[in-house]
A = this chain, B = another copy of it.
Amino acid sequence: MKIDMPQSKNKAVKEAKPLSRIQEANRKAILDAAVDVFAVSGFRGATIDEIASRAGMSKPNLLYYFKSKQQIYQQVLEQTLEDWLAPFAAIDPEGDPIEELRRYITAKLEMSAKRPEASKLFANEIIHGAPVIGTFLQTTLKDLVDEKTKVIRHWVGQGKLAPIDPYHLIFLIWATTQHYADFDVQIRAVAGTQAGRPGFAEQAAQAVLSIILNGIRPR
């Protein structure tokens, strides 16, 4: 599975597209179904038939809207990437470090709880070598991370955070927050009844925030 990243951000280019009511509805139904199917089965494991069936249409009909399985996959990935990164981009260099990071971690934990499929979708893609979003990671994401590492380094320089490597702090936050989505099966298996009880997500947030924030507080 070798794919090059098309990065179809060409909204302006293909503006000669009316996109009828029925088209819009069907595309949405397909993409919604696709997130779930790709998340649980991976790219290879997912079948067009299942996506079509979940979207309430026949396979050829689905292929009428997206000309290949890959195209659906890329579209779904692109669509979710933006939401996923938004809270990270929103980290404010002028804000209080601890508060900014608390807000970011909380937002990511909420996303993991609310849309675990999106997280699993990424996890799958990256574990398999990021064949589709590889160049995105090396360009857009790297730039964004570089920007934020500067911010964190600045905070450290000001003595507002303990001296830690910004990259690894970011990785630790990503790892921890996404873990609750990607490994939910393991968490439920291990935590047993506790994981099902309401308030579990809040308890998780409290624990994660406590450890990380105390871990980076200036000493």
Question: Which A residues form the contact surface with B (CB < 8 A)?
Answer: 1, 39-45, 120, 123-124, 126-130, 134, 137-138, 141-142, 145, 162, 164-165, 167-169, 171-172, 174-176, 178-180, 182-183, 185-187, 189-192, 194, 203-204, 206-208, 210-217, 219
- A183 nearest CB neighbor, chain B only: B126
Of the candidates B129, B185, B194, the one whose C-beta lies within 8 Å of that of A129 is B185
Count copies of this chain in the complex: 2
A208: which B residues are within 8 A, CB to CB? 168, 172
- A203 nearest CB neighbor, chain B only: B165
A186: which B residues are within 8 A, CB to CB? 126, 130, 137, 141
Quick check: A130 and B211 within 8 Å, CB to CB? no
Quick check: B210 and A164 within 8 Å, CB to CB? yes
- A213 nearest CB neighbor, chain B only: B215
| A190 CB, min distance to chain B CBs, angstroms | 5
A128: which B residues are within 8 A, CB to CB? 40-42, 45
The CA of A211 and the CA of B171, in the complex, are separated in Å by: 12
A187: which B residues are within 8 A, CB to CB? 171
Given A168-B204, A168-B208, A179-B171, is A127 in contact with B123 using a C-beta cutoff of 8 Å? yes
